[in-house]
A and B are shown apart, each in its own frame.
Chain A
Amino acid sequence: MEMPIADVRVLNRRERLVAGLRAILPGDAVIDDVAETRAYECDALTAYRCPPMAVVLPRSTSEVAAVLRFCHDEGVPVVPRGAGTSLAGGALPTADCVILGVARMTEVLETDLDNRFIRVETGRTNLSVTGAVEEDGFFYAPDPSSQLACAIAGNIAMNSGGAHCLKYGVTTNNLLGATVVLMDGTVITLGGAHLDAPGLDLLGVICGSEGQLGVVTEATLRILPKPEGARPVLMGFDSSEVAGECVGDIIRAGILPVAIEFMDRPCIRACEAFAHAGYPDCEALLIVEVEGSDAEIDAQLEAITAIARRHNPVALRESGSAEESAAIWKGRKSAFGAMGQINDYICLDGTIPIGELPGVLRRIGDLARGYGLEVANVFHAGDGNMHPLILFNANQPGELEKAEDLGADILRLCVEVGGCLSGEHGVGVEKRDLMTDQYAAEDLEAQMRVKDAFDPKWLLNPAKVFPLAVSASRRAA
């Protein structure tokens, strides 16, 4: 992955710049020791690494503002960082940058159950937002699989999703307000406990902007009352076409499950070997979960299994208890771990129109054979967000590159059938150079104009999202 050449005008002033940061932050909030900055050299896309010039860990919005004002005036690039779990290299440093981590900003600032919101500092982890309101019977809906580790900061920047977003939406649909610090140190507040402020929807465009428009320090989030209960049903089919049709029929029947997860045979086998969840050995497996009281769940599952039966399932297992539910989810939840045991893998994140599923799976199979690699598919079938896992051996020279090329081909295929490069992980550096496959020059120009308005010097999270050639003139200016 090509990154811009580090700015020698910055690197030459390293000591003075670090001293400048020390002057505006408490001593322990600035890290420039080479060994310690290594901890920040990558995010969860570990194939790419670059230690930053320095790391700052401020404790308040005003400290964040002071850092940004300083870096702005000195022309130093800044890379915001939450928990570093990005799979797209969104938090990858450049050698001349300051990493601005919000990990020390984890407070709950306000909880208001009657008005159904919580206001938190963005370094707080996703799961601990739910943790703060769970005893009162509430939860925060977006639930990325990384929720134990990832921070609300990164969730907002990537507009992260989760297994339950078919019903509850993704981060942007659950974000009511934010405090944002612009690159020049200006602090703005957008939205709040009220809905739909008139005026341009700046909150909507900041969410998903991958840390390139401002640093989000506080967030007002929608919390929801917990459903009375939830229960899954597992169904196996001997072709992915049929599984795909079954998904369409369930949705057309007017039932909105909270989750519809799909796994193909390579994925089923790996999960079974790893987790012994008792999955049938078949071409395609669906896990469909619904919510409500026991009686409501029964009514919905009855309708769903009736539809499934019309498609001649090779397996149909309705959960009757919490243990059975856990068993059904066990394999799916261990999918990534199971793959990690047997192989190195790249996790893709394209979205396709649901109707294209069977054709796309077939063509992914063909592409993989062409490269001599194996792909296992696990994905959120209700919304078309696919996670093909490309299996490879990192110790074998050339395999990573081959896997990346296959990944690019698969993502181009997603675009070709009417979908997109990323459903929830973001572009980062990983998909940056594919953006021209999805967007015409005018489309990228329009997005870059937004960046121009928020960060005219293009100092925030440089070299992400837009292909380097496309953004070159702006970054040089």
Chain B
Amino acid sequence: MTPTRKDTVMQPTSEADLAEAIRGANGALAIRGGGTRPLGRPVAGEALSTAALSGVRLYEPGALTLVVGAGTPVAEVEALLASENQRLPFEPMDHRGLTGTDGIPTVGGMVAANASGPRRVQAGACRDSMIGVRFVDGTGAVVKNGGRVMKNVTGYDLVKLLAGSWGTLGVLTEVGFKLLPAPAAAATLRLADLDDATAVRAMASALTSPFEVSGAAHLPGAGTFLRLEGLEAQVAYRAGRLVDRLAPFGRAEVERAPAAVAARWAAIRDVATFHGTPGDVWRVSVKPSDGPLVAARAQADAVQYDWGGGLVWLRMPEGTDLRARLGDLPGHATLVRATAETRARLAPFPPEPAPVAALASALRAKFDPRGILNPGLMAP
């Protein structure tokens, strides 16, 4: 069967179709989930959409496990889980507002980007919740790794390798996740008027408490925010204890209304303060206590700290080479929003040390010997 073509987009309707399309390809393929995101180095190639590889394959609430087709919209998954009071632990962002794109973000795109939100500090990254993948590599071979069980060390962990590989090792067709119960209650604590360095110290104090803080963000001018989640009684108790613990940093206000707490963290997750603004957006990951140093060196137009200071979102004048400003600070800077010209000039992905880059290209050559899967997208 030949893959369905929609306009000029190839849209295989089954894994076998996809394998055939890749085997038969005679040039580069630009892989798309929801196609919502012009990211990384611009890729020239025939568009290949995974949108038709969608649907829930298995959902076992009592086992906290879910397996879905890679083309499934993230929103559909989230709605399904909410109906059982469960959720994806890593809180993936909706990046459409930030990048000014539209479309429907898919599970495959989320996984290919290893996208994780504020809860990363407590529940881990997208890759930490992944328990299995199926994918088609650049030779058209169908490969599975991991599966539907939570603990699995049988053979090498290709699940991790595929997470964050941006479609350059294979096109995902199916992904398995372990889930978490959604908490009955949540609260946001807000400290006002802290400078960046003090805010990072306050967040460190919260994150090193036994109260399982599941979000720690600082929005200069708006406040320093900490999230607690759990049973009703638990959240009340922890909020009280945390307010006491943070007393040296000021008196924290506590927000308990569920809608307000959810809205606050959705805005932090999606970097709402940068929406509709001009300039490039960078995402810098460092040791949390280095966060303020990033801002100081970057001289950005605007800054938002997440992950206790370890994730710094920066809005920069168009075309600025942020990495040159940051110098030798351990960590990495990724260009998330910029024009195609800027993305072609400034590597969106940070350069890697030579021996690491050599390993990465050896792996790509093994999985995609013809170099047809999103070629060059991750190139430094």
Contacts and interface: CB of A to CB of B under 8 A. Distances in A.
Contacts of B157: 159, 172, 204-205, 207-209
Interface stretch (B1-9, B24-32, B190-198, B286-294): B286-294
Interface residues of B, number: 82
Interface stretch (A189-197, A324-332, A367-375, A394-402): A189-197
A226 B211 CA distance: 10
Interface string B316-341: 00000000000000111010000000
A55 to B, nearest CB: 26
B231 A453 contact: no
Q: Specify which of A194, A228, A254, A384 lies most central, judged by the most chain B CB atoms within 10 Å of its CB.
A: A194
Contacts of A435: 154-155
B161 A188 contact: no
Nearest to A256: B181
Contact of B143 (A209, A425, A427, A443): A443
A446 B148 contact: no
Given A195-B311, A383-B150, A426-B153, A446 B209 contact: no
Contact of A296 (B120, B231, B352, B367): B231
Of the listed residues A425, A439, A442, A446, the one surrounded by the most CB atoms of chain B closer than 10 A to its CB is A446
Interface in B195-237: 201, 204, 207-210, 230-231, 233-234, 237
Nearest to A171: B153
A261 to B, nearest CB: 14
B330 A299 contact: no
Contacts of B124: 169, 173
Interface residues of A, number: 96
Given A194-B285, A255-B181, A447 B164 contact: no
B125 interface: yes
Contacts of A44: none
A201 B149 contact: no
A247 B61 CA distance: 12
B243 to A, nearest CB: 15
B308 to A, nearest CB: 8
Interface string B74-97: 000000000011000000000000
B62 A225 contact: no
A198 B334 contact: yes
Interface in B108-132: 114, 116, 120, 124-125, 127-128
B155 A225 contact: no
Contacts of B210: 137, 225-228
Nearest to A187: B355
Contacts of A114: 201, 204, 208, 288-289
A170 B114 contact: no
Contact of A295 (B144, B237, B359): B237
B56 interface: no
Contacts of A446: 137, 141, 143, 145, 158, 367
A202 B158 CA distance: 10
A131 interface: no
A181 to B, nearest CB: 11
Contacts of B150: 166, 351, 383-385
A169 to B, nearest CB: 6
Given A115-B288, A195-B120, A249 B144 contact: no
B169 A355 contact: no
A206 to B, nearest CB: 9
B90 to A, nearest CB: 11
A255 B61 CA distance: 13
Interface centre among B145, B209, B233, B353 (most CB of A within 10 A): B233
Given A116-B207, A169-B128, A423 B152 contact: yes
Interface string A126-138: 0000000000011
B155 A447 contact: yes
A254 to B, nearest CB: 4
Interface in B51-67: 60-65
B103 interface: no
B38 interface: no
Interface string A266-290: 0000000000000000000000000
Nearest to A255: B181
Given A202-B360, A204-B161, A352-B149, A197 B285 contact: yes
A421 interface: yes
Interface in B156-210: 156-161, 163-165, 169, 180-184, 201, 204, 207-210
A464 to B, nearest CB: 11
B152 A252 contact: no
Interface in A167-223: 169-170, 172-173, 182, 186-190, 192-205, 207-209
Interface string B355-380: 11001101101110000000000100
A202 B356 contact: yes
20 contacts: A158-B153, A193-B286, A194-B331, A195-B310, A198-B164, A204-B160, A205-B158, A205-B160, A205-B161, A208-B153, A253-B181, A254-B85, A255-B181, A295-B233, A353-B60, A355-B63, A380-B151, A435-B155, A447-B156, A453-B363
What are the 7 tightest A-B residue pairs by CB atom distance, in nearest-first order?
A: A204-B160, A248-B62, A254-B181, A423-B151, A453-B362, A449-B366, A193-B287
Interface of B: 60-65, 84-85, 114, 116, 120, 124-125, 127-128, 137, 141-145, 147-161, 163-165, 169, 180-184, 201, 204, 207-210, 230-231, 233-234, 237, 285-289, 307, 310-311, 330-332, 334, 349-350, 352-353, 355-356, 359-360, 362-363, 365-367, 378
Given A195-B125, A196-B125, 15 more contacts: A116-B208, A194-B287, A197-B332, A200-B165, A201-B164, A251-B62, A254-B85, A295-B233, A351-B150, A383-B151, A422-B154, A427-B153, A444-B155, A446-B141, A446-B367
